[in-house]
């Protein structure tokens, strides 16, 4: 099997990405503030993605309603009942965000989704939210495969696409997809299909043979027919692995035949469109498989391919070979990240628990320091917990009088000055009860 699949340029041992993703679950939140923060973080990450896919409606209204749906009850009466109430409010907001996301067509998704615009934890939270409601949309399993494909696959300097080792991404796949109801018999059937298709790919000698023999149609049709069974970690990884090998082999044969990349992609899309029509999936024009998409986005389709027989260990690896979720550290999984939109919504409401506020343990920023950062900030404090974050309120009347461009200039000024002045890289600033500016990791994330 190693010899057969050597052409897919598998990646292993290429560093670590520390992924600190929030815990999940559908049980009522009664454990306290930490569970609430984790659930809010998942919602905030989902919002970041959905607002990009459908900015005209996105989750803005859903999150606005979130503020008026009982959140303040937690501050007045910190109890199991209050935690359960806010937990259900967060789940309802998540449902509305996913409904908006599910209405995005595959063509619009292909045009608007830029995986490089989001961090690994954000994308894993997005996948996890979709996987929980996979049956709600016919597009969802393929979309999950698309997103995870961008995390597991990388373009190498040789021009080929590489996939991370299964063991290296086990934690990320298990976290994002969870446990599936798929039986072992089907999992074994899928594994055998992947192996047989790999054997056939090694045997073909021309580009026409891949298409005329039905091999490309078999592989693509099997992927489409999997539907929700793609949500199994082993099946999804095996599907991506085979697609990687198939695309690498196709481009090698296309180069040998003198066929250009655009002609090759057109031929692949034509077959995919016919298969989607057969399986009743063709609601819009077909879009490329995630591996093909990665190749086309990098613009390296004409690169000279490496030999498909040389073992992976003999090939030089570069930073471009690194999959984004290789070597995740489970110990960071238990530590909630406290940045993002959901967090900002809760912080903006000033919810208190007992004698201290949410994300308690903070120090007030003096007037002199605030003036140095921006005269627009009325008051602010900095959390002592890691990561240190500046929370503040902007002058409402002055803010509303500014144009969109002027607001952005103010946000950039705050971004530039807060580091040298108060030594923080993150900020959440509100106007009234609404988020106005969010800065994360010294980057401007949101301005309203």
Which tens digits make up the pLDDT trace of 168-189?
888 888 888 887 767 888 889 9
Q: Give yes or no for residue 2 having a pLDDT over 50.
A: no
Mean residue pLDDT of the chain comes to 70
Query: DSSP class of residue 332?
Result: G
- Which stretch of 35-49, 64-78, 131-145, 429-443 has the lowest confidence by average pLDDT? 64-78
In this predicted structure, what is the pLDDT of residue 95? 82
Burial state string for 138-150 with b = 16 or more CB within 10 A and e = fewer than 16: bbbbbbbbbbbbb
Q: DSSP 3-state assignment of 263?
A: helix
What's the CA gap between 144 and 177, in Å, rounded? 9
Q: pTM of the prediction?
A: 0.60
Selected residue with higher pLDDT from 384 and 355: 384
Short-list 251, 261, 245, 256, CA closest to 296? 261
Q: DSSP 3-state assignment of 436?
A: strand
In this predicted structure, what is the pLDDT of residue 73? 46
- Which stretch of 59-63, 90-94, 117-121, 133-137 has the lowest confidence by average pLDDT? 59-63
Selected residue with higher pLDDT from 349 and 94: 94
Selected residue with higher pLDDT from 132 and 241: 241
Of the pLDDT bands very low, low, confident and very high (cuts 50, 70, 90), residue 200 is very high
Q: Give yes or no for residue 385 having a pLDDT over 60.
A: no
In this predicted structure, what is the pLDDT of residue 209? 93
In this predicted structure, what is the pLDDT of residue 193? 92
In this predicted structure, what is the pLDDT of residue 197? 92
- Apex 86 CA angle, 83 and 88, nearest 5: 110
Which tens digits make up the pLDDT trace of 49-71?
888 888 766 445 555 455 445 44
| Residue length of the chain | 448
Which tens digits make up the pLDDT trace of 393-421?
888 888 888 888 889 888 888 888 887 77
Q: Give yes or no for residue 267 having a pLDDT over 50.
A: yes
Which tens digits make up the pLDDT trace of 295-339?
454 444 333 333 333 333 333 344 344 565 554 443 333 333 333
Which tens digits make up the pLDDT trace of 67-105?
445 444 444 445 666 667 777 777 778 888 888 888 888
Which tens digits make up the pLDDT trace of 217-247?
889 888 888 888 888 999 999 999 999 999 9
What's the CA gap between 422 and 373, in Å, rounded? 9
What's the CA gap between 217 and 205, in Å, rounded? 17
Q: Give yes or no for residue 213 having a pLDDT over 80.
A: yes
In this predicted structure, what is the pLDDT of residue 59? 47
Beta-bridge mates of residue 362: 383
Q: DSSP 3-state assignment of 61?
A: helix
Contact yes or no for 272/94 (Cβ under 8 A) = no
Percent of the chain with pLDDT over 70: 63
Contact yes or no for 387/410 (Cβ under 8 A) = no
Percent of the chain with pLDDT over 90: 12
User: What's the mean pLDDT in 369-380?
Assistant: 84
Query: DSSP class of residue 383?
Result: E
- Which stretch of 57-66, 195-204, 352-361 has the lowest confidence by average pLDDT? 352-361
């Amino acid at each position: 099997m190693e010899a057969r699949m050597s052409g897919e340029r598998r990646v292993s041992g290429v560093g670590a990405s520390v992924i600190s993703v929030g815990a999940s679950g559908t049980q009522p939140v009664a454990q306290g503030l930490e569970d609430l923060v984790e659930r809010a973080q998942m919602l905030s990450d989902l919002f970041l993605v959905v607002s990009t896919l459908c900015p005209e409606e996105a989750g803005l209204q859903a999150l606005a309603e979130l503020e008026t749906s009982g959140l303040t009850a937690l501050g007045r009466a910190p109890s199991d009942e209050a935690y359960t109430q806010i937990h259900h409010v967060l789940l309802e907001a998540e449902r509305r965000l996913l409904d908006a996301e599910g209405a995005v067509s595959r063509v619009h998704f292909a045009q608007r989704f830029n995986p490089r615009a989001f961090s690994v934890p954000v994308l894993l939270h997005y996948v996890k939210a979709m996987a929980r409601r996979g049956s709600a949309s016919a597009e969802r399993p393929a979309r999950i495969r698309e997103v995870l494909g961008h995390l597991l696959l990388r373009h190498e300097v040789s021009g080929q696409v590489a996939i991370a080792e299964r063991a290296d991404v086990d934690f990320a796949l298990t976290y994002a997809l969870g446990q599936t109801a798929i039986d072992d018999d089907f999992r074994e059937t899928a594994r055998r299909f992947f192996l047989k298709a790999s054997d056939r790919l090694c045997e073909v000698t021309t580009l026409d043979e891949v298409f005329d023999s039905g091999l490309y149609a078999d592989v693509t049709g099997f992927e489409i027919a999997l539907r929700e069974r793609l949500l199994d970690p082993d099946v999804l990884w095996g599907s991506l692995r085979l697609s990687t090998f198939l695309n690498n082999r196709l481009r090698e044969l296309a180069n040998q035949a003198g066929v250009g990349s655009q002609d090759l992609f057109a031929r692949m899309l034509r077959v995919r469109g016919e298969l989607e029509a057969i399986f009743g999936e063709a609601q819009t024009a077909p879009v490329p498989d995630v591996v093909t998409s990665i190749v086309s986005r990098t613009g390296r389709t004409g690169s000279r391919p490496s030999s498909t027989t040389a073992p992976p260990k003999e090939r030089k690896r570069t930073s471009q070979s690194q999959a984004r979720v290789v070597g995740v550290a489970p110990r960071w999984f238990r530590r909630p990240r406290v940045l993002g939109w959901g967090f900002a919504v809760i912080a903006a409401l000033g919810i208190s628990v007992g004698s201290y506020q949410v994300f308690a343990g903070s120090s007030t920023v003096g007037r002199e320091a605030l003036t140095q950062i921006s005269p627009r900030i009325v008051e602010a404090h900095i959390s002592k917990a890691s990561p240190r974050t500046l929370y503040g309120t902007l002058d409402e009347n002055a803010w509303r009088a500014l144009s969109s461009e002027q607001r952005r200039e103010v946000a950039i000024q705050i971004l530039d000055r807060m580091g040298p002045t108060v030594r923080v890289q993150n900020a959440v600033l509100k106007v009234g009860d609404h988020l106005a500016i969010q800065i994360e990791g010294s980057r401007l994330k949101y301005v309203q």
